[in-house]
Structure 1
Amino acid sequence: MTTPTLSWYNEAVIYGIDVEKFADGNGDGIGDFIGLAEKLPYLADLGITCIWLLPFYRSPDRDNGYDVSDFYSINPDVGTFDDFLNFLHSAGEHGIRVIMDLVANHTSNEHPWFQAARRDNHCRYRDYYVWSPDPPPVAAGAKSIFPGEVDSLWTYDEVARAYYFHNFYDFQPELNFANPEVRQEILRIVDYWLAFGISGFRLDAAPLIIADKGLEHANPRDPHGILMELASYLRARRPTGVLIGEVNMPPEETGRYFGEGDQLHLLFNFMLACYIFAGLAKEDAGPINHAISLLPEPPAGCGWANFLRNLDELDFSRVPPELKEAVFNAFAPDKEMQVFDRGVRRRLAPMLDGDQRRIELALSIIFSLRGPPLIVYGDEIGIGEDLNQPGRTAVRIPMQWSARRNAGFSNAPTGKLKVKPVDNGHFSYKKINVEEQQKDPQSLLNTVKRLIVLRRAQPLFVKGRPVRLGASNPALLVHGFEDAGNLLLIVHNLAGRVVEAEIHLGGMEAEAFTDLIDKSEYKASPRLRLKLKPYQYLWLSSERE
């Protein structure tokens, strides 16, 4: 089991990248590892310490690379193995670790395992998947991950003359983790990528990997033992390696995926992301404070990865209906902004109408919580979305580097681009891009950079004791960290109006505070009273320099 001293990832600032959409280095219209390597100085300057790579395995690419046909090779669209290794080694030289998606729940139906399995029901690969001559009754309420697009969890295969199980699309047959040989295959995949210097993995669809499949022979006997085996193997090979879990479950179930620190080391904080947007929509800190109170306490060395948006939809299926309604009304009022009747398929900046004050406020919240913050490429400059694209791909637009042709993403003819950048409206690359924001000290990009610098310079975010604080006005979100009498006090005004309030310090004493952002002084004796502008945020320290 790890110890907290080895948990570099709790101090990390994580940046998610879809390689195909980030930077095209060879001019073919598709982002690649050559382009990504060229942009490493930008990421290091931003303050990023860990890159999370979305799937780049060989794949038919019918589901953004989550339909893997070969776990041991790279999609040729994003480069060669040498390109990948050059990127990986260069990232290390810039002080940036790299983690990658481990898509272990399913494969593509073009994977050799599945092709062998469907042709011979006596071969070893047949039991790598979940087959049935007659599909069993589906449990009440069970449905595909993509309701409305996929109607059944079972699909008949003409060659196999049997039905196979899938939670995702019908071209993504589910692996059978009750089979020890499948688990060994996944460990071999982990071993392979660790050998090149990968620092860990984001485990895609973790709850589905260990879930019952409806058939006795395919239901894991010890579900959480599978995660323990995976974590144990990872730590044996790389003692500081990390497993990050995609676990979108109710809070009372989510905590089990940490185990005793011997299963998943970080969990994506899906619930909190939804409640943050609910707080922003209602201009009320209550939903955010409630969500924080529901979160299970992670074991030592484990934690929550806090984010606002990832590159899927913002999923409100496990949020009270009134909060979902508030968020949809405020941030996704049109049907084209919604997906699967549960989610918002929008980027952060357009959800907040491009208002830099609100975007900064939202980012400040995740940068000031316990647990590593995670942002996805482009949110640091406030890029938009393309709602003309289907489903989840609306948010996976090319990175906007400059106002030049193709947003500086690629020098290929525009007609060759696999996905075109946003070129009109408020979020056009001609208005929103890295090059212009680098010149402006008050730009969103430079503000995000300053917040990352402040977070990394403050050990209280990682080592301090979290303290529950409050304010006399519900529009103020107040939390803090304490250590040896020093208090780090974080205040966010969620309202679009001036708010005056008294801050309740919970019995802790401080004579004065200094705002780490602009060095303003605030007296706290006998009590701390604050007046905040609309959407203003303060990072206040009681420590005297």
Structure 2
Amino acid sequence: TAGAYYWHRFYSHQPDLNFDNPEMRRALLQVVDQWLGMGVDGLRLDAVPYLYEREGTSCENLPETHEYLKELRRHVDERFPGRVLLGEANQWPEDAIAYFGSGDECNMAFHFPLMPRLFMAVHMEDRFPIIDILQQTPPIPQSCQWAVFLRNHDELTLEMVTDEDRDYMYRVYAQDREARVNLGIRRRLAPLLNNNRRRIELMNGLLFSLPGAPIIYYGDEIGMGDNVYLGDRNGVRTPMQWSGDRNAGFSLANPQRLYLPVITDPEYHYATVNVEAQQSNPHSLLWWTRRLIALRKRYKAFARGSIEFLYPENRKVLAFVRRYENETMLFVANLSRFVQYVQLDMSPYKGTVPVELFGLTEFPEVTDSPYFLTLGPHAFYWFALEKRHVEADAPGRGPEPASVPELSALTSGNGLFSSVGRGALEGVLPQYLRSRRWFGGKGRQIQAVEMIDAVDMPANGGPEAQLLLVKLSYVEGEPEIYLITVASAVGDEAEQVARNMPNSIIARVRRRPDEPPGVLYEAVNDKHFAASLLDSIAKRRRLKGSAGEIVTSPTEVFRQVRGGPDANIDPSPLVGDQTNSSVVYGDKLILKLFRRPDEGVNPDLEIGRVLTEEKPAVQVPAVAGYIEYRRHRREPMTLAVLQSYVPNEGDAWNYTLDNVGSYLERVLSKPAEAGPAGEFLPADDVLHLAGREMPDEVRDLIGTYLQSVGLLGQRTAELHLALASAGASAGFAPEPFTGLHQRSLYQSTRGLMASVFPALQRKVDSLQDGVREEARTVLGLEPEVLRRFQSILQGQLTGMRIRCHGDYHLGQVLFTGKDFVIIDFEGEPTRPLSQRRLKRSPLKDVAGMLRSFHYAAYSALFNQAARGIVPATRIANMEAWAGAWYKWVGASFLREYLHAMGESPIVPRRQDELSKLLSVLVLEKAVYEVDYELNNRPDWLRIPLRGVIQEIKHHH
């Protein structure tokens, strides 16, 4: 109509609504109800500062606008509680916060000024733009949140920057004038960053760690491109690229009917950059983004935490701390395209341990000194600053001082181990022992404590110290002997122990009522004491006690292993041993103290010496010395063994977990409904699979670990062949299986059942829900378990019994980077020493390793599920894939083991005998593990429970 007009704020094809019209407002509420009623979680309020028009004003931020927003918020909260109103107010933060009201207008608002400054900081390689804008961001109501983003459906707006900054952004990010529109840049994230994967990851890392809720624009999670030649902002609004099919999988329509054409730029072509392609690649940007989201969701500090910037001298590094309740997170980013080095003042967080969140790697503990980090180009770290999880024997931290017992003046000084002093010390030892990781009697009630002997050790420039041998008697079962190293300190030395090694303190000792107490503490954590142990072995010392003597002895290879006078042998206590305590001497030696010694030579020493002297080619550490305790007319007790230190990249357990994790990530890239089937998950057991050709799909998914596990099978066979042919005079000669020994194996398994199943029955109701059901299933399988064990009595077994490793699993093997070295020959620590020295089928070690593969498969899966990498909806599906990994890896190990054994008579020759014996030994190991986890690690119990179930059902 001639002379007609309408109001528009921005574009002529976008007329504004008339909010002064009550009918329009009612109609708008109907639209809101329609969408929220359909289940939409929230609504974006476009150009929210410009709802009303008033003569003589800029029509921006009018009071009427805020009144209407309050009305809209009340309407939504009353009808649809929990929904979100997100305000688009392209303003400086001090102006934009007005749209939160008092928590009664918008729930969220975009933080527009932050976005361009992220890009500026990365290109300038300077943290200032980010810190500057966040310092200008005022606090917001507790119930509200900023929405932060990198890109959206509009241009990268440059309204909220200075003229100079806008010119800079144009020059570095939009040299092509076609990319400029209005006061912004019409590009997607990937083209803006020149498709640089490191920069894309860095920008997302910044986005996800700064205050606010991150918003990802569709397509940026796969690195979609754009088309600046489509005009307006259409170049960043092209169809989502789902696949390489017609129209990028977005539509089956004629391509000419699409609202916008798909991207065909060679670098970002939809045939290459699409969801389907990246879904099948666990290293794609899509999967990396998913892992980033899952990780962020685990920590509330990212969403709600305060922010405290650190100011290192290197301005190319951005570092800040986010804190919320009991969470403290450290973020460090390298804004530069080159490697950077930074020193951080982390003294306010002294005593914490930075744990890198992506790999859960522990970094060195924070102290008063500057904290040093090196960062690769455009790299970033997410750390959780955690109080160190104190292992039971870690020297770092421990119980509160109030929980440490105090001994009276009568027990101090030289009278400590007098009759009165011994009684007092024996009274406090149970509390100390129960706090030790290496104490094996946690599930038993201590009846009495008796100190057998206390032997003085050379001071060697350090504190006075003793080796204590303590006998514990229990209400039920056999007594046990424990080795405790004790030193005393007073005055400044006691304060130093309390400050640096509080968890080592056994008791406080008060010499006089008017003096501060000294301390008794675990001496093995003292470097002077550790040095004295090595020195004693080198000098063949004999140290007298009240009931016996300690004898220290080097072996013939001691000097060769120790090295010359300039060799690095600085002692360092090793934290993390389960049943023993160890000290590493530089890069030459490692001393293992057996915390639970027994009469007789320890198999670790016995087997180690035989292999060192007779079979040096076998991949085991050389024995360089040992410490024994001897009493008249008693067999010696092995207290410690000194071995060559093996440079390594960690044990085979952690190496395997990394490989299982990679396998699971590859599997995750498959469609959710796909499960292992057919050749990938055959019905055959591991032994039968060992005789089959492995499908190519299996090799591709499991990867190079198959070669490693094959090498481990070969090394295991070489060990068994060496043990079968070494030291006949020392009781190493192979012995045949007899009916008597078969009966003995059955009786031992029957006795194990008689102990484990009642214990499981007693505790089943206290277990967690999922574990409880599996425990009840195992209890219901008790008759089947017994029948399986009885099968060992049927027929005469061939094969032979030899000295074995006895506690063989992935944690007992070191990975050097290209080979494996087998360690720890002491056997299962819960069994008496005499039983650990019995000859058994070498398949017992094989069964232990197969069970270890099973543990690795499921523990890696459960760990990834706990970290959010494996969605809860895919747990059942992924458990099947974990089972498939276990079967094929076990088969590969077994194949190479049997091949390396050749025609050796020490393993059964017939397939049925091999299958029966291996099945019984695997099941025995799983039942033993149920008992161990029930008493020590209930959270791990579901793994051996599942092993029992699978072993019975598989052979049923």
TM-score range, shorter chain: 0.5 to 0.7
Structure 2 residue 77 is the aligned partner of structure 1 residue 232: no
Query: What displacement does 1:191 show?
Result: 2.5
Query: What displacement does 1:211 show?
Result: 5.1
**Aligned match of 1:527:** 370
Structure 2 residue 136 is the aligned partner of structure 1 residue 294: yes
Contact 2:50 2:65 in 1 (8 A): no
Instruction: Look up the equivalent residue of 1:537 and give its one-letter code.
Output: F
CA distance in 2, matches of 1:173, 1:414: 30
Query: What displacement does 1:445 show?
Result: 0.9
**Aligned match of 2:232:** 391
Query: What displacement does 1:313 show?
Result: 0.4
CA distance in 1, matches of 2:211, 2:317: 18
**Aligned match of 1:318:** 160
Query: What displacement does 1:232 show?
Result: 1.3
Structure 2 residue 28 is the aligned partner of structure 1 residue 186: yes
Identify if the C-alpha distance between structure 1 residues 404 and 508 changes in structure 2 by more than 3 Å, giving closer, same or farther: same
Identify if the C-alpha distance between structure 1 residues 189 and 408 changes in structure 2 by more than 3 Å, giving closer, same or farther: closer
- Please say which of residues 213-222 and 437-446 is displaced more in the overlay: 213-222
Structure 2 residue 150 is the aligned partner of structure 1 residue 308: yes
Contact 1:522 1:528 in 2 (8 A): no
Query: What displacement does 1:226 show?
Result: 1.3
Identify if the C-alpha distance between structure 1 residues 530 and 216 changes in structure 2 by more than 3 Å, giving closer, same or farther: closer
**Aligned match of 1:477:** 318
Identify if the C-alpha distance between structure 1 residues 511 and 174 changes in structure 2 by more than 3 Å, giving closer, same or farther: closer
**Aligned match of 1:78:** none
Contact 1:468 1:506 in 2 (8 A): no
- Alignment partner for residue 247 of structure 1, among 71, 89, 112? 89
Matches within 5 A, 1:108-127: none
Query: What displacement does 1:497 show?
Result: 0.5
CA distance in 2, matches of 1:202, 1:374: 12
Structure 2 residue 50 is the aligned partner of structure 1 residue 208: yes
Query: What displacement does 1:486 show?
Result: 4.2
| Alignment: residue pair count | 386
SS in 1 for 2:216: strand
**Aligned match of 1:363:** 204
Instruction: Look up the equivalent residue of 2:194 and give its one-letter code.
Output: D
Instruction: Look up the equivalent residue of 1:541 and give its one-letter code.
Output: A
Unpaired runs of at least 5, structure 1: 1-156
Query: What displacement does 1:297 show?
Result: 1.4
- Alignment partner for residue 420 of structure 1, among 226, 242, 261? 261
SS in 2 for 1:412: coil
Structure 2 residue 306 is the aligned partner of structure 1 residue 491: no
**Aligned match of 2:556:** none
Query: What displacement does 1:418 show?
Result: 3.3
- Alignment partner for residue 454 of structure 1, among 287, 291, 295? 295
Structure 2 residue 380 is the aligned partner of structure 1 residue 537: yes
Contact 2:92 2:112 in 1 (8 A): no
Pair member with larger Rg? 2
- Alignment partner for residue 407 of structure 1, among 234, 237, 248? 248
**Aligned match of 2:171:** 329
Structure 2 residue 181 is the aligned partner of structure 1 residue 339: yes
Instruction: Look up the equivalent residue of 1:450 and give its one-letter code.
Output: R
Query: What displacement does 1:519 show?
Result: 2.9
Contact 2:355 2:362 in 1 (8 A): yes
Q: What do the CA deviations read for 1:14-36 (whole angstroms, capped 9, x no partner)?
A: xxxxxxxxxxxxxxxxxxxxxxx
CA distance in 2, matches of 1:504, 1:386: 46
Contact 1:281 1:326 in 2 (8 A): no
Query: What displacement does 1:447 show?
Result: 0.9
**Aligned match of 1:42:** none
**Aligned match of 1:380:** 221
Query: What displacement does 1:361 show?
Result: 0.6
Structure 2 residue 11 is the aligned partner of structure 1 residue 169: yes
Contact 1:178 1:220 in 2 (8 A): no
CA distance in 2, matches of 1:486, 1:510: 15
Query: What displacement does 1:464 show?
Result: 3.3
CA distance in 2, matches of 1:530, 1:247: 39
Matches within 5 A, 1:24-39: none
- Please say which of residues 499-508 and 371-380 is displaced more in the overlay: 499-508
Q: What do the CA deviations read for 1:513-542 (whole angstroms, capped 9, x no partner)?
A: 111113333223233211000000110111
- Please say which of residues 527-536 and 207-216 is displaced more in the overlay: 207-216
Contact 2:49 2:60 in 1 (8 A): no
TM-score, with length taken from structure 2: 0.39
Contact 2:331 2:380 in 1 (8 A): yes
Contact 1:278 1:324 in 2 (8 A): no
- Alignment partner for residue 444 of structure 1, among 270, 279, 285? 285
Unpaired runs of at least 5, structure 2: 390-956
Instruction: Look up the equivalent residue of 2:362 and give its one-letter code.
Output: E
Identify if the C-alpha distance between structure 1 residues 221 and 271 changes in structure 2 by more than 3 Å, giving closer, same or farther: closer
Identify if the C-alpha distance between structure 1 residues 215 and 316 changes in structure 2 by more than 3 Å, giving closer, same or farther: closer
TM-score, with length taken from structure 1: 0.67
CA distance in 2, matches of 1:506, 1:293: 23
Instruction: Look up the equivalent residue of 1:309 and give its one-letter code.
Output: R
**Aligned match of 2:126:** 284
- Please say which of residues 297-306 and 394-403 is displaced more in the overlay: 394-403
Contact 1:397 1:422 in 2 (8 A): yes
Q: Identity of aligned pairs, percent?
A: 38
CA distance in 2, matches of 1:176, 1:414: 38
Structure 2 residue 289 is the aligned partner of structure 1 residue 432: no
**Aligned match of 2:603:** none
Contact 2:211 2:304 in 1 (8 A): no
Q: What do the CA deviations read for 1:305-351 (whole angstroms, capped 9, x no partner)?
A: 110000100110221122222222221111001001x1000000011
Query: What displacement does 1:224 show?
Result: 1.3
Query: What displacement does 1:190 show?
Result: 1.9
Contact 2:336 2:377 in 1 (8 A): yes
CA distance in 2, matches of 1:318, 1:535: 26
Instruction: Look up the equivalent residue of 1:539 and give its one-letter code.
Output: W
Larger relative contact order (C-alpha < 8 A, sep ≥ 6)?
A: 1
